[in-house]
Structure 1
Amino acid sequence: DQRTKLLESRSGSDGRFRLELDIAADAPATRYELVIDSGTYFAGRGIPQAGMTIMREIVLRFEMPDPSAQYHMPVIISPNNYSTWWSS
C-alpha cells in the first residue's frame, strides 16, 4: 500500500475535528485512513487512570466514492473505548 499523508490537525476546543477535502482528482476506489491519536489526547487531560490507557490510536479506513457527496464520520471516544458510524 502506498500512503500519502494529506494533513495533520487537532480538534477544536469543542472536541470536534472539521475538514473539507477536495477528492475530485482521486479515483472512486481510493482508500483513506484516519488515525486519531487518542492516547495523547487523554494523557493531556489529567483523567484518572489515563496511564492505564491501552488504546493509543483509533484507525478508520474508508472510501469516499462520490466526490460531490458529504461524508460525516462521528467518533465518540473514551480512554479505552470508541464508537463510530457513518452518516451523510
Structure 2
Amino acid sequence: MSKIGGRITTHVLDTSKGVPAAGVRIELYFVQKDVESESKLKVTESVTNGDGRLDAPLLDGGGLEQGIYELHFDVEEYYATRSTEESMQALWTVVPIRFAVSDTASHYHIPLLIAPGGYSTYRGS
C-alpha cells in the first residue's frame, strides 16, 4: 500500500491536572513569506475531543505541502471554562507553534502540553 501523502495531527494535555484538554480550538495556517512580508493562509480548524485529540487529522490525503505551518491553540477559551482560580492564573491566550514541513509524505504530530503558567511541545509520533 503506497502513501498518498503526509499528515498533520496534534493532541493537547493539561499537565496541571494530568488530563486530556478537551474543547481546545486549534487553527492550522500555511505561512507564506517573501523578503519583505509574511502572510498566513488559514487551512482548517478543529476542536479537541474528550481525549484531547482531534477526530481527524488537520491535514492529510495529499494536501500537505513543503513550507512553514503554524498551529494556533486557543487556550484562553479552554481555561475560561475551568475554575475561576485557574482562569485567573492562566497567562496564555493563544499558543502559536510554527514548524517546517520538508517531507510531504511524513506524519507531523505536534502535541501541546499546557498549564496555566507554561507550555511545551515536541515532535511526536
Name the TM-score class by shorter chain.
0.7 to 0.9
Native 8 Å contact 1:37 1:57 kept in 2: yes
TM-score of the two chains, using structure 2 as the length reference: 0.60
Q: Which residue of 1 aligns with 2:30?
A: none
Alignment correspondent of 1:5: 42
Which residue of structure 2 lines up, in the alignment, with residue 58 of structure 1? 95
1:76–1:82 Cα contact (<8 Å) kept = yes
Equivalent residues of 2:45, 2:58 under 8 A apart: no
Instruction: Give the equivalent residue in structure 1 for 2:19.
Output: none
Specify which structure has the bigger relative contact order, considering alpha-carbon pairs within 8 angstroms and separated by 6 or more residues.
2
Aligned residues: 84
Stretch of structure 1 that moved more, 45-54 or 67-76: 45-54
31-40 or 10-19: bigger deviation: 10-19
**Structure 1 position 47, deviation (Å):** 5.5
**4+ long deviations beyond 3 Å:** none
Higher-strand-fraction structure: 2
Residue of structure 2 equivalent to 1:36: 73
Q: Secondary structure at the match of 1:42?
A: helix
Q: For residues 11 and 87 of structure 1, what CA distance do their matches in structure 2 show? A: 17
Gaps (5+ residues) in structure 2?
1-37
